Homo-oligomer: A and B are copies of this chain.
Amino acid sequence: MKARLGPLPYIYPIPITLVGANVEGRPNFETIGDTGLAGIDPPLVFVSSHRDHYTNLGILASGTFSINFPTTAMLARVDFCGTVSGRDADKSALFEVFYGDTGTAPMIAECPVNLECRLLQQFCIRHRQVFIGEVLQCFAGEEFVHMDGGRPRFVDLPTLDPILYALDNQYYRVGARIGTGYQEAEKWKGDAT
């Protein structure tokens, strides 16, 4: 028997990211779980932010932004970034910042992976501002990736050590590897015969 809980968008798990943009001349970072993959080829990402959020101003003005993936060791700073607005606090010194070719999307050196993005499309749904971005460049710490036949091969998720979140308002780490894409299906086909 299922309980009906009303119109609750209980998506889980949520990847915790720091979305970066320069606003009024300085780097600002917003903690966001409302983000995700929107396509691999073309390389698309999706970010949804409250319409009043300070970071939005920088994304709209520059047409660029970054998505940065913090580690669990950065949890206190990441949570802090989600509790104060750039309008009220200068967050530019919280992290070591670097730039890519656009020169306008601030990225966080301490994060293992950073995506430098170009704003492709944006629209509002009620008080939400939705951004669709195209990834121009993926940056990764050299200890987290090696090239294998011309293609990047990343270390496993537990080593990248991202922060997960759920709408129970709790943070989690990643657990053990349990399988490989497009190979587990074989086990099901076996069951079905």
Q: Does A82 contact B185, Cβ atoms closer than 8 Å?
A: yes
* Contacting residues of chain A (40-68) with chain B, CB-CB under 8 angstroms: 40, 42-46, 48, 67
Q: Give the chain B neighbours of A165 by CB distance below 8 A.
A: 181
Contact (A157, B12) CB under 8 Å given A5-B145, A43-B7, A136-B7:
yes
For this chain, the copies found in one complex come to 2
Q: Give the chain B neighbours of A37 by CB distance below 8 A.
A: 9, 11, 14, 33-34, 36, 48
Q: Does A67 contact B170, Cβ atoms closer than 8 Å?
A: no
Question: In the bound complex, what is the Cα–Cα distance between A72 and B13 (angstroms)?
Answer: 13
Q: Does A162 contact B (CB under 8 A)?
A: yes
Q: Give the chain B neighbours of A185 by CB distance below 8 A.
A: 76, 79-80, 82-83
Question: In the bound complex, what is the Cα–Cα distance between A82 and B162 (angstroms)?
Answer: 25
